[in-house]
Chain A
Amino acid sequence: MSQLNQKTSDKDFVLSVEGLTVSFDGFKAVDDLSLYVEEQEIRVIIGPNGAGKTTVLDLICGRTKATEGSIKFKKKELTRLKEHQIVHAGVGRKFQTPSIYEDLSVFENLEISYPRGRNVWGALTFKRDQQVQDKILEIAEMVFLTDKLHDQADLLSHGQKQWLEIGMLLIQDPELLMLDEPVAGMSVAERKQTAELLQSITKQRSVLVIEHDMQFVEDIADRVTVLHQGKVLSEGSMQRVKNDPKVIEVYLGH
């Protein structure tokens, strides 16, 4: 088994998760999970509540420490790194509820996420130069917030906050982008816009998305992984997963 895994991780996967287990007081939230994400792939993780979807993202980005198993990102073992080191390695994470700095302006939110001056000295000597400003303008345009740039972030609508957080991730230019329910609480129009946004930003990177909205999943997913009780229940194209009897039973329903 482990030899087999060894072989598969030699292939050109951006992310290879193998035998990942985490147990909280004996309860295995994620149980011997293996998952491989290719370059420039959009992978969507679906599954019923409590299937361990968010925990998987927490494990990858270092928020939760794995009990067992390995997470390799571009051949780099992530399980031993600290959160900020994982970010430096090229993994970006968006939280389920919009996680932005409401006391700061949209501009400042993006500026803080700009990947320069990340240590104390760097932050003390950080200069808001043309390069930074151009990048912020570029990202603001991508996430439809150009005319909100100098507004306080707490004045944004829920959907705009979600976009802002996506923008904050984009400015870091991660190779792997992890999004936890990016369209939750969005209007239909906003969902469509977000789907387009994701399509355009995923051209140069791999994306791991957790989502419940099936229409949205169909719109964006290259492949879908269905989790159930911490294990992979099914994996493949949306078409295949949709017709998998096991998936229909535990998740999609009647």
Chain B
Amino acid sequence: MSSQISAAPAQNSSPVDWWKYLLLAVILLVVLPLALDIFRLNLIGKYLTYAFVAIGLVLCWGCGGILSLGQGVFFGLGGYCMAMFLKLEASNPEATAIQSTPGIPDFMDWNQLTELPWFWQPFHSLSFTLLAVIAVPVIFAFIIGVAMFTRRVGGVYFAIITQAIAAILTILIIGQQGYTGGVNGITDLRTFVGWDIRTESAQYLLYFVNVALLFACLFAALYIKRCKLGRLLVAMREKEDRVRFSGYNVASFKIFVFCIGAAFAAIGGAMFTLQVGFMSPSFVGIVPSIEMVIFCAVGGRLSLLGAVYGTLLVNLAKTSFSESFPELWLFAMGALFIGVVLAFPDGLAGLYQTYIQPWFKHFINREKVGLTPPAPIPEKTTTPAKEPVASSLSSSLEESRNVPA
């Protein structure tokens, strides 16, 4: 077939479909802001903060096969770091004059604390906070990663342990009410360096900042996925031993990608706090962590863009569905997850690859053939003809390979 003896790149290195990223950018930056009022747009902004987590999961889980059921931990840590800064700013002595100890956050006062705990002190500084938003979750992920991956804990055991960590952290936050705000979380956040984040204009700006950061993370993830490290992750997912005996320290790569996932989640968490105006343990625990995995699975765990669309769609469904049938939502979510895993394991991106893309290609090819009839026909026809066959075998791997981003 391809007797070409060039060292041309193969599947994973096929050119990026930049138009898809452009399309997403147009939707997020032009269409939605024009079509939606600020309340709805703010909701979209909130959903997009989960997309950061989903992108990290594409790298960890989709590429590397490391299923973490505790990404809420990193989302929460990032969010809490930001919330602590905002809370300190909101708790200046004038605003808290009625408290028995003015100048400390209100929940501390309610819990009979009389001075700011030591670990809250550095969060007076903006630069420390911005650093901590990333550094705290990444260091935590690094510790978990070193402890797990160098001992070769993987697969379902790793998933269970991360889930346990999410549960432990939730319990810790709720239990240490005086230091963390307990089950209510850190609420009543007002200004970010003197700038009121509750106004409409602030929410618009934060939405755009959020989208910009999302694209930064998308491109970083795209780079990682397409460089040799991305192919190594796939190789590790398939034959970890082979990678090890090809001279790689497998644990170091797993730790790296796990930390990257944590960093993305943390940025999402911080943006969540800024846009929604509070942070609570309900975004740290097991349920939100699993929900984030579902967003990623629905979008297609091998597709970065799929993860973004999956997050948006599931959350839109959640909002509209839970408005009418609140108690049914969790069941619907579970059913959705089972359905995705059983029926279309590559999610929306897989469906796109299987059904829409071949049709697209066919359409484009026909145009091309019309212009330059003889040459390209034999070569071109092989590709689209093969794809539906492969996918009808429902070989998930077969499909996933073609997912470009």
A contact residues vs B (CB 8 Å cutoff): 61, 63, 82-84, 87-88, 92-93, 95, 99-105, 107-108, 111-113, 115, 117-120, 123-126, 128, 133-134, 136-137, 146-147, 149-150, 152, 154, 165, 168, 172
Contact = CB atoms under 8 A, between A and B. Distances in A.
A105 B8 CA distance: 11
B253 A103 contact: no
A108 B231 contact: yes
Contacts, number: 113
A125 B228 CA distance: 8
B397 A103 contact: yes
Contacts of A120: 229, 252-253, 256
B61 to A, nearest CB: 15
A128 B242 CA distance: 21
Interface in B243-274: 243-250, 252-253, 256
A102 B242 CA distance: 12
B245 A124 contact: no
Interface in B1-38: 2-5, 7-13
Given A133-B7, A137-B5, A112 B246 contact: yes
Nearest to B228: A126
B229 A124 contact: yes
Interface string B281-308: 0000000000000000000000000000
A92 B246 CA distance: 8
A111 B13 CA distance: 12
A150 B237 CA distance: 21
Contacts of A61: 245
Given A61-B245, A103-B401, A126-B228, A112 B235 contact: yes
Given A112-B232, A120-B252, A126-B228, A150 B10 contact: yes
A46 B246 CA distance: 25
A159 to B, nearest CB: 18
Nearest to A136: B7
Given A95-B241, A101-B235, A103-B238, A115 B397 contact: no
Nearest to A140: B5
A194 to B, nearest CB: 19
A113 B4 CA distance: 22
From B3, B231, B397, residue with most partner A Cβ within 10 Å: B231
Contacts of B228: 111-112, 117, 123-124, 126
Given A120-B229, A133-B7, A104 B249 contact: no
Given A83-B245, A101-B238, 12 more contacts: A63-B241, A82-B249, A99-B239, A103-B400, A104-B11, A105-B10, A112-B228, A112-B232, A113-B246, A120-B256, A124-B229, A168-B246
Contacts of A95: 241-242, 245
From A61, A95, A136, A149, residue with most partner B Cβ within 10 Å: A149
Top-6 shortest CB links A-B: A133-B7, A87-B247, A105-B10, A126-B228, A123-B229, A101-B235
Contact of A146 (B5, B249, B397, B401): B5
Contacts of A63: 241, 245
18 contacts: A63-B241, A82-B249, A92-B245, A95-B241, A99-B241, A100-B242, A101-B238, A104-B12, A105-B12, A107-B7, A111-B231, A112-B232, A117-B228, A126-B229, A137-B5, A137-B7, A150-B8, A172-B247
Contacts of A119: 249, 252
B249 A99 contact: no
B227 interface: yes
Contacts of A108: 10, 12, 231
Nearest to A101: B235
Nearest to A150: B10
A105 B242 contact: no
B168 interface: no
Nearest to B250: A84
B116 interface: no
Contacts of A146: 5
A105 B237 CA distance: 15
A182 B374 CA distance: 46
A105 B224 CA distance: 18
Contacts of B242: 95, 99-101, 165, 168
B206 interface: no
A197 B293 CA distance: 47
Nearest to B256: A120
Contacts of A147: 2-3, 5
Contacts of A168: 242, 246
A124 B241 CA distance: 21
B234 interface: yes
Given A105-B10, A112-B246, A136-B7, A124 B224 contact: yes
A134 B5 CA distance: 11
A150 B238 CA distance: 19
Contacts of B247: 84, 87-88, 115, 118, 172
A115 B228 CA distance: 12
Nearest to A132: B7
Given A99-B241, A100-B242, A124 B5 contact: no
Nearest to B8: A150
Contacts of B238: 101-103
A123 B232 contact: yes
Contacts of A124: 224, 227-229
